[in-house]
Amino acid sequence: MTGILAGKTAFVTGGASGIGRATAVMMAREGARVAVADRTEDSAAATVALINSAGGQAIALGGDVAIEADVAAMVARTVAAFGALDCAFNNAGIGGRGAGPVGRRTHEMSQDSFDTMIAINLRGVFLCMKHEIGHMLGHGGGAIVNTASIAGLIGLPASSHYVAAKHGVVGLTKTAAMEYAQDGIRVNCVNPGYVATPMTDETMQRRYDELMAKVPMHRLGTADEIAEAVVWMCSDKASFMTGASHIIDGGYYAA
Ligand SMILES: NC(=O)c1ccc[n+]([C@@H]2O[C@H](COP(=O)([O-])OP(=O)(O)OC[C@H]3O[C@@H](n4cnc5c(N)ncnc54)[C@H](O)[C@@H]3O)[C@@H](O)[C@H]2O)c1
């Protein structure tokens, strides 16, 4: 296959749905062989089928990004299947609803909700980077993109756990970029605003007009609009980009 990722291999977490699925499909279209990871191998298999039926090459992996043994095994299976790991998109995550009751301010939030969110949305990214970098070191480097959020740059009431996790992802990204700049490993993050995916579905059914009033473009982004940037950041075209937060939000952060 030709394309800006021709000859590369990629590992994508949260690849069964939304932004992860769109990115895995686009990476394959741009020539990468893709390991699609999600909570279960079965859920990742639907994305793999999309890729393979379009003439691409992909494998499905199952595991929980919050568990180090799962992450280590998924990265090892990617390397075993493809012989290399060039690009990683650490994107798996949950919204507030995935961590417990929503609408809680900081003093009302349970420790369980907070810990669940941090385990998946922050520790998950740390564990993925740890094992990906462990392989990339000494194998010619690589490119990592982490999914942060606009919530990694600003506060959002009733979301202190999500905001803390996403600010943490921005910090991990900057730190790893500095640590491995001399090793040929670039580390960046993407900071989407509101995007139409299963994660935002329920909220948008209730609050679309209220939330879109805060977005200068007055619309949701699409998963493909995020994937375009991630694929580019993973490619050699982004060779001088590291430690960056790439905002894609219809103007929300600028307003
Ligand atoms: N949709 C938005 O508006 C938006 C905005 C900013 C950031 N994000 C971030 O984008 C990323 C992708 O979200 P999305 O909108 O595509 O949501 P989504 O719910 O469509 O996809 C998330 C995927 O991550 C997987 N996942 C969740 N927890 C996991 C775990 N512990 N181990 C393995 N896989 C797990 C889910 O099974 C799902 O397939 C998330 O990190 C989210 O925080 C989304």
Per-residue pLDDT of the chain in tens (255 residues, 90 and over written 9): 689 999 999 999 999 999 999 999 999 999 999 999 999 999 999 999 999 999 999 999 999 999 999 999 999 999 999 999 999 999 999 999 999 999 999 999 999 999 999 999 999 999 999 999 999 998 999 999 999 999 999 999 999 999 999 999 999 999 999 999 999 999 999 999 999 999 999 999 999 999 999 999 999 999 999 999 999 999 999 999 999 999 999 999 999
pLDDT given at position 138: 86
Could you give the angle at which helices 124-136 and 160-180 cross, rounded to 10 degrees?
10
Cα(117) to ligand 1 centroid in Å equals 12
- Angstrom distance (rounded) from CA 88 to CA 84: 11
- Angstrom distance (rounded) from CA 158 to CA 20: 25
The pocket around ligand 1, CB under 6 angstroms, is made up of 13-14, 16-20, 38-39, 64-66, 91-94, 120, 124, 147, 149, 192, 194-195, 197-200
Cα(229) to ligand 1 centroid in Å equals 17
pLDDT given at position 1: 63
Q: What angle do CA 204, 221, 4 make, to 5 degrees?
A: 145
CA dist 176 → 74, 112, 142, 171, 189 (Å): 21, 28, 12, 9, 11
Contact 227, 192 (CB under 8 A): no
Q: Which domains does the chain have, with CATH numbers?
A: 9-247 (3.40.50.720)
Indicate the DSSP class of residue 214: T
* pTM check: above 0.85: yes
Cα(16) to ligand 1 centroid in Å equals 9
**Helix, strand, coil tally for the chain in percent (to 5):** 50, 15, 35
